[in-house]
């Protein structure tokens, strides 16, 4: 399970690198173009004493438009936060499984509420992300992931309080489905960002 969330963190890192590298590559390209145009302009000026000023170079199109970059950054930030929250949630559950007294205590439920509150905040944040029109399919898939997390957030603590094994296993299943779906979303966003 941890490796799946490391993949989410990897995705966030790759996304930032893609955005950063695209901008840096563009900047280097623009510099080279300007240097080449300056050299050509200087040579023409030397040949002709009454040369007209060189036309201003047209600004190069950015490798990733602002909406695409903002969407990618928002998704990456949300995924990164999910990585941390889910690792902490996993540790919380491992602590409970290693200490049955803790798992049966009110403190376990109180601590669980902290984790669930973090999940609910990230779900709300994810649902508020506005994708560009051509990324709506990615956001739809990401919201499916949030549906899985929302099921867990709503049902996990009541299942633990009631010791409802079936509901706990449904939550585990939904977490597994979410982790698989995050892999799909990660692939879609990487493809989307490299095409832009």
At 105-159, the pLDDT tens digits run: 999 999 999 999 999 999 999 999 999 999 999 999 999 999 999 999 999 999 9
Which residues 6+ apart lie within 8 Å of 181 measured at CB? 141, 144, 145, 148
The pLDDT mean for the chain works out to 78
**In this model, does residue 13 exceed pLDDT 90?**
no
Indicate if the alpha-carbon torsion angle 163, 3, 73, 92 is positive or negative: positive
Name the one residue in this structure whose structure tokens are 């490796």.
3
pLDDT bucket at 42, cuts 50 / 70 / 90: low
pLDDT bucket at 36, cuts 50 / 70 / 90: low
Tell me if the pTM is above 0.85: no
Instruction: State the Cα–Cα distance between residues 102 and 182, nearest whole angstrom.
Output: 31
Work out the average pLDDT over 12-33: 39
User: Residue 68 in contact with residue 193, Cβ under 8 Å?
Assistant: yes
Q: How many domains does the chain have?
A: 1
Work out the average pLDDT over 62-90: 88
- Backbone φ and ψ for 56, nearest 5 degrees, come out as -65, 135
**What is the residue range of 121's domain?**
2-195
């Amino acid at each position: 399970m941890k490796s799946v969330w490391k993949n989410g963190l990897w995705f966030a890192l790759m996304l930032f690198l893609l955005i950063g590298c695209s901008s840096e590559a563009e900047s280097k390209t623009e510099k080279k173009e300007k240097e080449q145009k300056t050299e050509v302009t200087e040579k023409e000026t030397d040949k002709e004493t009454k040369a007209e000023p060189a036309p201003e170079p047209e600004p190069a199109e950015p490798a990733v438009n602002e909406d695409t970059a903002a969407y990618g950054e928002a998704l990456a930030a949300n995924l990164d936060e999910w990585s941390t929250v889910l690792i902490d949630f996993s540790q919380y559950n491992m602590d409970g499984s290693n200490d049955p007294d803790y798992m049966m205590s009110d403190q376990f439920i109180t601590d669980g509420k902290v984790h669930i509150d973090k999940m609910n905040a990230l779900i709300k944040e994810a649902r508020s992300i506005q994708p560009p029109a051509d990324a709506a399919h990615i956001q739809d898939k990401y919201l499916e992931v949030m549906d899985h997390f929302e099921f867990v957030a709503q049902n996990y603590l009541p299942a633990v309080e009631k010791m409802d094994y079936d509901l706990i296993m449904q939550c585990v299943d939904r977490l597994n489905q979410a982790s698989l779906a995050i892999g799909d979303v990660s692939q879609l966003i990487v493809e989307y960002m490299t095409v832009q």
